[in-house]
Structure 1
């Protein structure tokens, strides 16, 4: 997943500050590259920097703060270099994208066989944003090209396209990734995360519909395609990936995480502990909710050293993920020693970081007991639509099943049901592997209740396997 931000000045004044800081507020959505594309008196300009051990504004501010900019788009990307500049039959444009295209290599081969060349590559693979730009360029207009792209890809893609007319904004066909429209007295803005609006003085107008296409100019926001009512929003936005102050579909992440923690506590009657804690940062609100419901004090035995360490799931290699996880969390022995802890975590994906860099630190500080409570059900399927997990072998649940069964199995339905003996065996295997006192996951029903949207509006594929390839979604239900 990547974070997008775009701005168009209504008064032809420079909007460079809003663009830089608005994009900087998307930084928790990616870790590899930051990029800006701007349109000013001298035409288009594009800037890309690697983001390792640096924040976005420090990389960009000094080099472009004096550029006169009337409109621009920015991105924090988790995989590929963006933005892409394109000069084509539909005109000049710069583009940024968020999402994951599952059939990217097939589409790229098809286009190369037709004589289309690619110049940008990410780790020997075709750059997704360039692929989307090439598809858009085959349309009769940019609007037509975006629609063509939606029809060709499998997976998800939201995008912003900077042109001389304004910014085209299009949300993923099924709404898995977020895109929100805002405005102040001097400009229109659009972004992935509404946390980019508050301190810059923007008010949120609304979320774009799935498949909706807007053209944002200096005078108006024009709806080119109204989009669709049916949606499959990534549930992880509320549980983990979204910033606490961000809202999706009008529902705030912090409040939903508190609700999630309360529901975990309601199913956890009888447990005794000295304190409730969250794994920073996304586990904190879940822990606060658990504490509010249970009456067990909330404390901070783990603190995150924030200046140079970001999210440990975002770096592309296991080595970098482990390094980030080890370095960013510091245990406070004076809070931990001699106490029993209930530890709230947003999720358990691979389990290695929780075991080696969190649980081990807490035991080493003299904890009496560690009870782990993930705020979502066991992750059973690799994400098809974003970039958090790619293969079954990455998931701790699949490792547990393989150990229990003696080999990989195709039918894992019994392991999806919390009432079965096999589910209990899987949880016990994970508990022993993590070296913790007890382990209890959030139920799918309670997670959905915490969010408050109908289940059919949420993508729950990574927990129950439903919705792969959008087989349960219908296009054309405007």
Structure 2
């Protein structure tokens, strides 16, 4: 996914920018970057963080940064920030999202005799494409508005200018941006968890398509929010850090509610409730509290040297990381009936390995309760569950096994409790070698988050969201 952080201060902002950006490391993936503006211009640095951590890469060079205004990014796509020289001036830009029509936008740009300098693996940088679209207009406001209208998918962004920081949330608000305030500075962030330890108070969540400009003295709205929002529901289920809020709704609170909803529809007899670390823990605590069952940790996560399992780009490396970072506690497993809560089941390969380890350690039963419904449609907006083939999704794979073809009515399988849904769920259970498997109901997930369904993107489960 990726995350953004920006700060405009009346004092030097480098330390706050460093820590604020670092608080987005749970989101990603491949690269981290910072840019600071001072009287000499913009100073930028970008590092690969696939096999390291943001802090260890940037801390040694902090003394070379100075300035009162800066932006940072953790990116799972292209190197960021980019520094652009144009008729609008020299500016830095960071983005997060997914541009589905990037190829067609590039072709149109070539037809207008435009050029691109920043490519990754032969692909034009999405961030440079956004900058190119912005620079076709006479001011930043018009440029951002034009770019958002041209992009199919989603794109939230920060722009570092000599006037301050422009912050723009994507057109349908799929990714969040929130403003924080303290006496000497304003900050804007993808994650509100970056604020408390830096002394910021959450002031306002930007609306869908809204654009504001921040300086050290305050912020000003430049474009009003649009009427429609479809914020990604996976922010609460999986992506978000427990201390963060989106639209004023805390992540850990929503996960507890998800687990409680799973518990209310369950009566299986077990000895312990547990969560697959890390994001499954909040769901499991909610389940445990609702059913008054003891919570324990049969798996503990080893974090000092093993990064997040979605970071490596190959499936083989993802599986290796997932297997090596979770260490079983045999004393809590042997002879026990265990129920695990998990944020989601995407491909199922990592989970299958974990279940095998549990049975190898002597578990009597292993029950699984995912906090969301079966994933049937690859994400079109944030790279979650995106793959080259829909058959990488375990739900789609078993549907093909049941139907003998991909050409079928997928929505019939999405209806919780239907004959097709039950058949699909049982086939997934068999593949994973689980004792029982029950998925979250979509209406219960929506209720746990607490927003109306029309304000949530639920595309991965029911393909109902707007492009």
Q: What's the TM-score bracket when you normalise by the shorter of the two chains?
A: over 0.9
SS at match of 1:415: helix
Q: Which residue number corresponds to residue 68 of structure 2?
A: 70
Q: Deviations over 1:110-146 (max 9, x none)?
A: 1022211112223332111111111111111111110
List gaps (5 residues or longer) in structure 2.
Answer: none
Q: Which residue number corresponds to residue 284 of structure 2?
A: 287
SS at match of 1:428: helix
Q: Which residue number corresponds to residue 3 of structure 1?
A: 3
Measured in 2, the distance between the counterparts of 1:277 and 1:246 equals 22
Q: Which residue number corresponds to residue 386 of structure 1?
A: 382
SS at match of 1:347: coil
Q: TM-score, normalised by structure 1?
A: 0.95
Measured in 1, the distance between the counterparts of 2:189 and 2:270 equals 41
Structure 2 residue 94 is matched with structure 1 residue 96: yes
Measured in 1, the distance between the counterparts of 2:322 and 2:97 equals 24
Measured in 1, the distance between the counterparts of 2:101 and 2:76 equals 19
Give yes or no for contact 2:50–2:312 (8 Å, CA) kept in 1.
no
1:320: Cα distance to partner?
A: 2.6
Q: Which residue number corresponds to residue 179 of structure 1?
A: 177
1:374: Cα distance to partner?
A: 0.1
Measured in 2, the distance between the counterparts of 1:462 and 1:324 equals 25
1:468: Cα distance to partner?
A: 4.4
Give yes or no for contact 1:72–1:162 (8 Å, CA) kept in 2.
yes
SS at match of 2:68: strand
Measured in 1, the distance between the counterparts of 2:39 and 2:410 equals 59
Measured in 2, the distance between the counterparts of 1:122 and 1:46 equals 18
1:227: Cα distance to partner?
A: 1.1
Count of aligned pairs between the two proteins: 465
Measured in 1, the distance between the counterparts of 2:466 and 2:360 equals 42
SS at match of 2:310: coil
1:66: Cα distance to partner?
A: 4.6
Measured in 1, the distance between the counterparts of 2:230 and 2:133 equals 24
Q: Deviations over 1:45-85 (max 9, x none)?
A: 11100002221122112212353211100000112111111
1:279-428 correspondence to structure 2 within 5 Å: 279-356=276-353, 358-390=354-386, 391-428=389-426
Q: TM-score, normalised by structure 2?
A: 0.98
SS at match of 1:379: coil
List gaps (5 residues or longer) in structure 1.
Answer: 470-478
1:226: Cα distance to partner?
A: 1.4
Measured in 2, the distance between the counterparts of 1:218 and 1:200 equals 15
1:263: Cα distance to partner?
A: 0.7
Give yes or no for contact 1:17–1:65 (8 Å, CA) kept in 2.
no
1:323: Cα distance to partner?
A: 2.2
Q: Which residue number corresponds to residue 164 of structure 1?
A: 162
